[in-house]
Chain A
Amino acid sequence: MDGDRTTPWQPTVIAGPKHGMLVTPAIAKMMLKKAKNPLFVIGPLIKDDDGLISLCKNIVEAWNLPVVATGNIYKSLTENGIKSKRYGTIEIVNLLKDPEWKGINSEGQHDLVLFIGVTYYLASQGLSSLKHFAPHLKTVTLCKYFHSNADASFPNMSDSEWTNYLEKMSKI
């Protein structure tokens, strides 16, 4: 792999003048601290990786995050002790667009949404939708790949570096 960090993982998803900001765990945690009603969206790409699910569980518990499970990961999360609500990626993005939506815990619309494990091209489209039509919230991706349509994203990186990033995310 080359050292490229902030070209979108699928380079053709570049959408225009506004490009997501690269964040380290330290900055992502600052965003989380500032958020009043954050949400964690976990997608099916980590379904078969117990290590990654465990890292996500640590993040959920450390920050007391409400969780949405997309695709077919709901059962895996339940089996691993992560309580979540199931929505399709498109469905949750559609709800997040609506400033009047009550949020998954009926505490009002979320102001920060973390994503991990959503199919890359689908996530990119969903993030584009939120970029255009949900100015009331910020998006952060914790995936191994850079997402230019997010407000903030981890860079493209190796598995070991990603694991390190996720471990840091679980330490407040």
Chain B
Amino acid sequence: MTYKKMDKKLDNDFWKTKNLSLTIGEVSIGKPKQELDEPMGPTPKPSVTDLRSWDFKLLKRYPPFYAPFCDMCCLCTYGKCDLLGKKGACGIDAEAQQARTVLLASCIGTAAHAGHGRHMLHHVIKEKGKDFPIDMGKNIDIEAPIIRTIIGKKPVTVSDLDESLSYVEEQLSHLLSACHTGQEGNALDFESKALHAGMMDDLAREVADITQIVAYDMPRGDGDEPLVELGLGTVDKDKPVVLCIGHNVAPGAEILDYVEDNDLYEDVEICGICCTAIDITRYNQAAKVIGPLSKQMKFIRSGVSDVIVVDEQCVRTDVLEEAKRNGAVVIATTDKMCLGLSDMTKEDPELIINELVNGKIDGALILEPKKVGKVAVEVAKKIAKRRESLKCLPDISEIPEIAKECTECGWCVRVCPNNRPIMDAVTSAAKGDLKKLADLYEYDMCYTCGRCEEECERNLPLVSFITKAGDHFVKNQKFKMRAGRGPVQDVEIRKVGGPIVLGDIPGVVAFVGCSNFPNGGIEIAKMAEELLKRSYIVVATGCSAMSIGEYVDEDGLTLYEKYEGIFDASGLANIGSCVSNAHISGACIKIANIFAKKPLSGNFEEVADYILNRVGTCGVAWGAFSQKAAAIAAGVNRWGIPAVLGPHSSKYRRLYLGRIDKEEMWDLNDLRTGETVKGEPAPEHLLYAAETMEEALVSTVKMCIRPNDTPKGRQLKLSNYIDLYKKYFGELPPDLELFVRTERDIPITHKKEVMDDLTSKNWTPREAPKEPSLLERK
């Protein structure tokens, strides 16, 4: 077996003297030019309020919708304060308090990505030097569209990324401080700040992913990245197994380096869960992807991993407790998550290995990635044999006996975030039928949060039941997913920018975010499949990208095997991990720059306005649950990209909703004529939570409609909207008169029935704006 192994040594080209840079402190001699060959726009490094006017334009069109978790504010010692119809002791009302909570969540999410980026940047500068070049490959000239637009500079070396990250950190301080008691008091201003936090998040993610791409020589936007192995069945349980969980690739990369350097590929299994899984396979395809976040408890409980290496974000905080149940070892690797473990960073690796193997310590905190590589692999090798019998799961034949202890109190269902029929599954198991338990396992119908177990009055190991029954049925499942490709190449944008803007490609749909899916990961795969068949460009990242890979058709093929990884019509591009989401905003920015020649430097408003009105794209975060997802959504929203979320996302407490019944909300400026013209609800919402997959899919295709569509493009988009609406709701959409501007917009296949519908509503044609915009003509 051969693996794609990236060169991790310093590239010889680095030492070529053409652009040699000598840096002394802040003074740089002969440093490559950072400035871009375009005029600087109005808002380089915008402050918290510099883009407030843009935010208020968005918020006027899409007023915030609040759904409070709680009637009270519990943040300070004035309170608790009851905000139901009242103000708090500090003067805050319920709307402002909800908006403050959203800002807080966005700051947390942004801090997670920025902290990750900072760790990555420090590590890379330490390992490769400040002047390690940013080389995104020959097909990418716009290496960092977000940095170019917001900072107004072209990053040339990794140290240039430091400026962007320092700016993010500064802005984050201001934003977080606004959450303090007695500061901001207006909901819309809190929202503006949340959007600013989201934009900082976008910037931080771009820094983080560019850093890891250049440092670890990850793919630079190739659409034909190879397929990697996905699924629990891909791991050979008879070998020592090291499991990596989290989002920071550094420790995982060192583990893979150690395996390679010591020729251990055939002797040790290296696998991952969550974004780290995607990133280690971007680095080295010898690694295996267990699956999304929802596989975490299942896989740990299965006892297969000998060593669990956790880095940062989305790791179960009880991972040490869970690992101890079956004698596995935990290695924590970042300051974000120390788990109470002894800091062994400065100790001799042999001593750490010895203490872990002999059980003197349950785990270790090791903040040096290279040391993690050796310790993790050597410990796994040494304890794997003795752990063969250390399986804490009940034997499958024992489950019916233990299940008979269930008192049918029903609280397992009531505390389940998704009201899964756990009690039914257990009572069936008591009668010897394990199928319902297995059903909960498949497609992550149960994402094994473990709340049912916490509540069970008989302390039944419910997650273990599900894991064992499911594992029994699906243990041989092996899937293929395409390795994360990173950014969209400039050459691809040149090809599809026009068709996207003009509507010849019906839309770009990005499936992103966590795996808190309302009805299992299969829904996200089905939505992706429907859109791929309809020639949408589908991109995916993170846990959503993994869940898409777990669905196979009747021929046993995944969507990654059936569709190319290109950024083009009917392409399914796995962009990468959560931080790679920056490349999705980046692709939209590139369209504005490459296709429409919009300058980027310091020119946020014009670029975002262009995207909102012309780039038919929509995000889908079907299972979003974390603060990072909140920040990502705020980030894309500020760029003018709408998103459809799953029903759980109502728990983010805030959405941005348009009103189709308020015509005045949709007025546009036609920059060509300088006139204000009647617009249309395109996109209808900026952030919307759907209840079911069907509703989400119809909303998504509808939210790809843009004012700039040509008649041909509008026909194509309406054709998909009508088809899907009829498929799921049985009739024509009720709002076609809003989207049909002239008869030329009507899809030919639906011409008669649409015309009949329009006639019954006294529809009259209207002019489409030539240059639709929310901005004033200059």
Contact = CB atoms under 8 A, between A and B. Distances in A.
Interface stretch (A26-34, A48-56, A60-68, A115-123): A115-123
Contacts of A119: 518, 647, 691
Which residue, of B419, B690, B691, has the highest number of chain A Cβ atoms within 10 A?
Answer: B691
A119 B518 CA distance: 10
Nearest to B727: A75
Given A71-B694, A88-B688, A122 B647 contact: yes
Contacts of A133: 66, 94-95
A78 interface: yes
B415 A72 contact: no
Contacts of A74: 729-730
Interface string B65-97: 111111110000000001111000000001100
B415 A90 contact: no
Interface string B676-694: 0000000000001111111
B712 interface: no
B695 A128 contact: no
Of the candidates B70, B84, B695, the one having the most CB atoms from chain A within 10 angstroms of its own CB is: B695
A88 B644 CA distance: 12
B692 A18 contact: no
Contacts of A15: 68-71
A143 to B, nearest CB: 12
A91 interface: yes
A9 interface: yes
Contact of A129 (B67, B414, B661): B67
Contacts of B15: none
A126 B650 contact: yes
B661 A102 contact: yes
A128 B688 CA distance: 17
Nearest to A76: B730
Contact of A2 (B71, B409, B415, B661): B409
B41 interface: no
A44 B692 contact: yes
B69 A89 contact: no
A9 B416 CA distance: 10
Interface residues of B, number: 45
A91 B68 contact: no
B410 interface: yes
B605 to A, nearest CB: 27
B518 to A, nearest CB: 7
A16 B689 contact: no
Contact of B414 (A9, A16, A70, A79): A9
Contacts of A94: 65, 657, 659
| Residue among A74, A97, A122 with the highest chain B CB neighbour number at 10 A | A122
A88 to B, nearest CB: 6
A169 B514 CA distance: 41
B532 to A, nearest CB: 21
Interface string B35-75: 00000000000000000000000000000011111111000
Contact of B72 (A9, A10, A16, A75): A16
B67 A72 contact: no
A7 B172 CA distance: 40
Given A72-B695, A118-B691, A125 B67 contact: yes
Contacts of A70: 691, 695
Given A43-B691, A72-B694, A102-B661, A16 B71 contact: yes
A44 B85 CA distance: 31
A17 B71 contact: yes
A122 B692 contact: no
A72 B728 contact: yes
Nearest to A12: B415
A29 B659 CA distance: 32
B692 A72 contact: yes
Nearest to B725: A86
B691 A132 contact: no
A81 interface: no
A10 B691 contact: no
A50 B417 CA distance: 26
Contact of A78 (B72, B94, B730): B730
Given A74-B729, A118-B691, A129-B65, A88 B699 contact: yes
A145 to B, nearest CB: 9
Given A15-B71, A78-B730, A71 B691 contact: yes
Contacts of A90: 65, 650, 655, 657, 688-691
B648 interface: yes
A131 interface: yes
Contacts of B659: 94-95
Contacts of A85: 734
A98 to B, nearest CB: 8
Contacts of B692: 44, 71-72
Which of B647, B693, B730 lies at the interface centre, i.e. has the most chain A CB atoms within 10 A of its CB?
B647
Contacts of A131: 71, 84
B408 interface: yes
Interface string A7-41: 00111100111100000000000000000000000
B651 interface: yes
Contacts of B695: 70-72, 88
A79 B409 CA distance: 37
A91 B689 CA distance: 9
Interface string A83-127: 001101111011101000110000000000000001111100110
A88 B646 CA distance: 12
Nearest to B85: A135
Interface of A: 1-2, 9-12, 15-18, 43-44, 70-72, 74-75, 78-79, 85-86, 88-91, 93-95, 97, 101-102, 118-122, 125-126, 128-129, 131-133, 135
13 contacts: A1-B408, A1-B409, A9-B414, A17-B84, A18-B71, A71-B691, A72-B695, A75-B728, A78-B731, A88-B689, A90-B691, A119-B691, A132-B83
Given A11-B414, A16-B84, 15 more contacts: A2-B409, A12-B415, A15-B70, A15-B71, A17-B84, A18-B84, A72-B692, A72-B728, A74-B730, A75-B728, A86-B729, A88-B695, A88-B699, A118-B691, A121-B417
